[in-house]
Structure 1
Amino acid sequence: MYGLSVRWSLAEAPADVDEALREYVHGTSLERFGAMEGLRFKTWRTRPGEWFEGTYVFENAAARDEFAASFARTAADSPGSKIIGSAPVLQETFDVVAIAEGRAGFTAGPGPS
């Protein structure tokens, strides 16, 4: 499997950015990425007031690389960038060595509010 991380700094973002990002992800982004061809899963991670990140895992390198190239061209104008007020500070590809599903199982959908 093949991964991609995209991270934004929240250091200069508006005060309500954490809630705005959560609303966007829950209201729009979950559905969009749930239907994406070649994507195994995506997680949205945040350290409120510090950074916001999308982590993607694709079934093959071609799907990852195609999405990464396309996103790099439009990242500054992406919905996340518009909400945050700046472009991503990091976009990096990686290989996924393994994934373990724990006894609690995997649940898709919104995290804590």
Structure 2
Amino acid sequence: MTTPTLKGLTVRWSLTQAPAGAAQALRDYVAETSHSRFTGMAGLRFKTWRMREGEWFEGTYVFASDQARDDFEREFRAGADEAPGSKLVGSGPVLIEPWEVVAVAEGWDGFAASPRG
């Protein structure tokens, strides 16, 4: 039996040379714009925004199919240097990496979907 797999994509920016205030600007951008852009997006299972302030900021995407991930990745790569994250940190992504999700376990407390929750 073949188990369907989910397809992931990581896009990471370095914050080591980012301007002062970049971390808060990224938090605000996610809360005010990006979260709603990706909520309900066709082909996307979920997206998580992660950050280590002063080190890196990333978007972690999980797609329902190879095609959905490949289409998104192709479009993103074409405009990566002009993406909102790139503009806020002052440089393009240092990593764009596709990967496979082996499994996801949802804990008792479930997912919190709010960017300010």
Q: Same fold (TM over 0.5)?
A: yes
Alignment: residue pair count: 112
Segments of 4+ in structure 1 off by > 6 A? none
> Can you list the C-alpha shifts for 1:12-63, whole angstroms capped at 9, x where unaligned?
1011000000000000000000031100000000000000000000001100
Matches within 5 A, 1:61-76: 61-76=66-81
Of 17, 20, 29, the residue aligned with 1:24 is 29
* Counterpart position of 1:13: 18
Structure 1 portions without partners, runs of 5+:
none
In the alignment, the residues of structure 2 paired with residue 96 and residue 61 of structure 1 have an alpha-carbon distance, to the nearest angstrom, of 12
Q: Which runs of 5+ in 2 are unaligned?
A: 1-5
Percent of aligned positions with the same letter in both sequences?
A: 58
1:75-90 to structure 2, matched below 5 A, reads 75-90=80-95
Give deviations 1:70-100, integer Å, cap 9, x for gaps: 1001000001100100000000000100000
For 1:42, the equivalent position in structure 2 comes to 47
Larger-gyration structure (1/2):
2
- Whichever residue aligns with residue 48 of structure 2, its letter is T
2:107 counterpart residue number: 102
Q: CA RMSD in A?
A: 0.9
TM-score scaled to structure 2, two decimals? 0.93
Aligned with residue 57 of structure 2, among 42, 52, 55: 52
Structure 2 CA distance for aligned equivalents of residues 24 and 35 of structure 1: 18
